[in-house]
Amino acid sequence: MASTRHMDARMDDPDNLVPKPNISEIKNKMFRQEMYRKMKMEKKKMKIKEKKKKMKEAKASGEKVVKQTPKTIESMRIPDETMVSAEDEEVRLDEAIDEMAGYFNMETTPKILLTTCDRPGARTNKLCKEIKRLLPNTTLLYRRGLDLKKVIPQALSREYTDLIVINEDKKMPNGLVLSHLPDGPTAHFKLSNVRLTNEIKNAGEMTGHKPEVILNNFNTRLGHSVGRMLASMFPHDPNFHGRRVVTFHNQRDFVFFRHHRYIFRSAQRVGLQELGPRFTLKLRTLQKGTFDSKYGEYEFVHKRHQMDTSRRKFFL
């Protein structure tokens, strides 16, 4: 066996300089793979050791320690001209007069109408019920072949501020249309990875306190408007004693929705318990005005062939 060959070689050589066993010459596949794995692990260890040594030396000698950060997709992201920084005067002026300004000026409170496509399946119904519990001041409407274009004027007369439609395919919810009603934009999202509360391990009980909202990484101008749309569904004054938080986290154009109960264990540690449904949204189209898919004016349409060309280009 190769192991005995190995030992013989060692015994011959008094200086303990071992002639490297040629692993590729081992005929037994299992054994050969085993040896390769070991070699790789050893190499890795050596590499880490050397790195540590270098860092120590650099620190000791006083030169600047440059920590090498690995390249990630986020760090290599193609810079977008419409990236919005925190204090952008133009954006702020824009947003003071856009469709969601009414909410952010405290003039309107959100009142949401939630419905589905025709003949929803059981899973969609369950998701709707959970969303109804999750968003305060929501009414669930059974869509019996109603035309959205006819529903919208009636909803406007009853002072609804948002309309949410959950679309379904093959008994699974797969689309979400969010329309801000007093002539606000309509966003069509692809809904995926829906997990209901009973499918989440150790999920907690939802309470009725008004939740806080966290919006992460909505950096571009488009992301900003989408973020504002999502935030305008929630009531203004969150009840901090309820410790409920709803998060929309944008990563690489996927918006992850999570719903947690948090608790501050100390000034540096937070505990989170997940409640409620979890899903991901991907923006497909953003249309100015209320729902009108044929004649509406589209601000953003995801065109696969034009926009999905680069792995590092994102739009939200």
Partner 1 sequence: MQHDDVIWSIINGSFCSFKTRAKNTQKFCRNEFNLTGLCNRSSCPLANSQYATIREENGVCFLYMKVVERAAFPRRLWEKVKLSRSYEKALKQIDENLVYWPKYVKHKCKQRFTKITQYLIRIRKLTLKRQKKLVPLSRKVERRERRREEKALVAAQLDNAIEKELLERLKQGTYKDIYNFPQKAFENVVEGEEVDVESGSEEEDEGEPESESEMEEESDMDRLQGDSDSSEESSEDDQRPSTSRAKPRKPRRKVEIEYEHETEDLSRTKLKTKT
Interface pick for partner 1 out of 16, 61, 268, 306 (rule CB under 8 A): 268
Cβ proximity to partner 1: between 68 and 72 the closer is: 72
C-beta separation of 229 from 185 below 8 A: yes
Determine contact, residues 253/265, Cβ cutoff 8 Å: no
Please, which residue, 35 or 228, has the CB nearer to partner 1?
228
- Counting residues that bind partner 1 (by CB under 8 A) gives 65
Indicate the residue among 152 and 215 with the shorter CB distance to partner 1: 215
Q: Is 198 in the site for partner 1 (CB under 8 A)?
A: no
Cβ atoms of 167 and 207 within 8 Å: the answer is no
243 Cβ contact list (under 8 Å, min separation 6)? 209, 261, 262, 263
Structure tokens at 154: 């009636």
Tokens of 265: 């264990």
Point out which span in 35-43, 126-134, 157-165, 271-279 binds partner 1 (CB under 8 A). 271-279
Rg (CA), the chain: 28
Q: Nearest-5° angle of CA 139, CA 295, CA 180?
A: 30
Is residue 189 close enough to count as binding partner 1 by CB under 8 A?
A: no
**Which distant-in-sequence residues (6+ apart) come within 8 Å of 53 by Cβ?**
none
Among 6, 31, 34, 95, binds partner 1 (CB under 8 A): 95
Residues from 207 through 246 that contact partner 1 (CB under 8 A): 207, 209, 212-216, 218, 224, 227-228, 231, 234, 236-243, 245
Smallest CA-to-CA distance from 235 within 151, 183, 162 is with 162
6 makes contact with partner 1 (CB under 8 A): no
**Other C-beta atoms lying within 10 Å of the C-beta of residue 33:** 12
| Interface ranges with partner 1 (CB under 8 A) | 72-74, 86-87, 92, 95, 104, 106, 145, 147, 190, 192-193, 204-205, 207, 209, 212-216, 218, 224, 227-228, 231, 234, 236-243, 245, 247, 249, 251-254, 256, 258, 260-273, 280, 282, 293, 304, 308
